[in-house]
Amino acid sequence: MGLPNVQPEHYDAQLRDKLDWVKTEFAEFNLPQIEVFESEREHYRLRAEFRVWHDGDDLYYVMFDGDKHTPVRIDSCPMVSERIHQMMFKLLDVIRPNEILRRRLFQIDFLSTLSGELTVSLLYHRPIGEEWAEEARKLRGMFDIDIIGRARKTKILLDRDFVIETLNINGKEFQIKQVENSFSQPNGKVCEQMIQWGLDATKEAGGDLVEYYCGAGTFTLPLAQNFRRVVATELAKVSVHAAKDNIALNGIDNVDVVRISAEDFSQVLQGKLQTRRVNGLALEECDFTTVLVDPPRAGLDDDTVQQVLQYDNILYISCNPETLKSNLQAICQSHQVERFALFDQFPYTHHMECGVFLTRKPS
């Protein structure tokens, strides 16, 4: 994603344009009134990645816009969280004259939280070792941050490679461990709204929940209060470990996380595949009334679409309206849209996050 042109005075008009686009694109589904959840106008993004540009003695951040080849210098970045913005340029001021920290540094990644925790990753096109770590420790103390050094086949931690996010969901706090270099929702305030919307949509569902693409459990854990039991799946090993840590961190006892792809788990539930990864889960005892899917931009594959049709209730979180529309054309043969939400995760860009809650049509 290129650097958004952050102009708060244009925010309302841009959000109306997004809403109008959704109404037009999804007109065939006879949507109920679309629920719209706004973003903060500035300092809304909790994670960001910036290329670092070397120009003689100068060193500065760039992002690529338009043709993806032309670097745009960044001396201010109102889209990132206040915690990131307060220190990112000061950090570069310290690195610039330090040959050990500067040499062949090509990217800096930031991961922050609503409560102000911050992890910074420095990426290099050269080997790094103890000499680098000694200098990087000074940065850690100076800015009160955790630092990660990355180079080919090397990862140095000073001291953690994660943050603990605190999400306030309807007055209840959930602690979510988020690991650097793995997926997390970038807009924390909108994420809270998404979870609260999902909780409200499924409050009468009852029974058990199956979830595909659970990540670190950001949706899983709060939604567990609406169900007797939750079985969640995720393929990324780091995210599975984080999800299990988060289950323990929040003292939740009705969630199981399985490291398996959505496609394979669909096959398991259909009785077409056996795997020891589900041993001990007693899936035959589950009454899965509801499925939650939060797929990547490619949407749901055909087999998974057929699997989600087996459930009375479908909660679909989408980061790509185009693949959502395609999936809904299949899903709405048997289900109807009860609620539809537009979450403005990415202000000042064309990107949109949508939420759909569907129920089975009366037979």
- Residues 16 and 79 occupy one common structural domain: no
For residue 128, CA distances in Å to 94, 102, 136, 149, 246 come to 18, 11, 11, 8, 32
How far apart, in whole angstroms, are the C-alpha atoms of residue 78 and residue 104? 27
Among residues 191, 286, 319, 354, which one is catalytic? 319
Q: Report the number of distinct structural domains present in the chain.
A: 2
- Residues 211 and 327 occupy one common structural domain: yes
Task: Tell me the pLDDT band of 1, cut-offs 50, 70 and 90.
Answer: very low
35 in active site: no
Structural domain containing residue 141: 47-163
Task: Tell me the pLDDT band of 64, cut-offs 50, 70 and 90.
Answer: confident
Instruction: Match 């393929």 to its residue by tokens.
Output: 235
Q: pLDDT value at position 262?
A: 85
- Residues 90 and 36 occupy one common structural domain: no
pTM: 0.93
CATH no. for residue 109?
2.40.50.1070
Domain end (from 163, 196, 223): 163
Q: pLDDT value at position 186?
A: 93
Dihedrals phi, psi of 74, to nearest 5 degrees: -120, 120
- Asked if the structure places residue 177 within a domain, the reply is no
Quick one: DSSP state of residue 45? B
28 in active site: no
Among residues 77, 234, 353, 354, which one is catalytic? 353
The H or E element containing residue 111 is strand 105-112
The percentage of residues in the chain with a pLDDT greater than 70, rounded to a whole number, is 98
- Asked if the structure places residue 172 within a domain, the reply is no
Check whether 50 has a pLDDT greater than 60: yes
**Chain mean pLDDT for the chain:** 94
**20-30 residue pLDDT tens:** 999 999 999 98
**171-218 residue pLDDT tens:** 999 999 999 988 888 999 999 999 999 999 999 999 999 999 999 999
- Residues 204 and 157 occupy one common structural domain: no
